[in-house]
Structures are given as structure tokens and as C-alpha cells.
Amino acid sequence: MDNIRTTVIIPKELLKAAKLAAIERQTSVSGLIQEGLKEVVQRKKSPKKDNRLLNLLGKRSIGIKKIRREDIYDDYLRKKISS
């Protein structure tokens, strides 16, 4: 694969953090950027992972009926009155 030189404009603090991360990983800032871009591109190619994430975030039904606020208060008041 041919490499192409490009210019990226980022905040100074982000560049400092990237340089430190590159040193810790024993790579270059360019290597970190390549790694990050590959990850983003790969994520777009595999939407199945996104669906799993949505399931974890509760965007999909897991078969449990949603509890309404009114039902909670009704149960609370019934218990309070009967005690």
C-alpha cells in the first residue's frame, strides 16, 4: 500500500497526549492515527457490532413489560393505606 503525506489540524493538547501514547505503545503518532482510522473504517463495515451495542443500551426489547410510573405509585399508595 502506498503511503500519502497529509496535514491534520488538531489541538495542541491532543498532540501532546498522542505523542505520549505513541511513546508508551512504541509507535509513532502517524501509527496511532492509522490505527484509529482503521478502527473507524472497520466499524462502519460491520454493523452487527452496532446492533449488539444497541441491545446493551436497551434500545431493543428483551421481553420485559415496561413498568409505568402510575403503577408504581398505585402500589405504593395501596400498601401505605393498608398498613
For residues 83 and 75, what is the distance between their CA atoms, to the nearest angstrom? 12
Over residues 8-26, the pLDDT tens digits come to 899 999 999 999 999 999 9
Residue type, 80: K
The pTM for the full model equals 0.51
Q: In 9-43, which positions are buried (b, 16+ CB within 10 angstroms) versus exposed (e)? A: eeeeeeeeebeeebeeeeeeeeeeeeeeeeeeeee
Of the two residues 79 and 44, the one the predictor is more confident about is 79
- How confident is the model at residue 50, as a pLDDT? 60
- How confident is the model at residue 66, as a pLDDT? 73
Over residues 35-59, the pLDDT tens digits come to 999 988 887 776 565 666 666 666 5
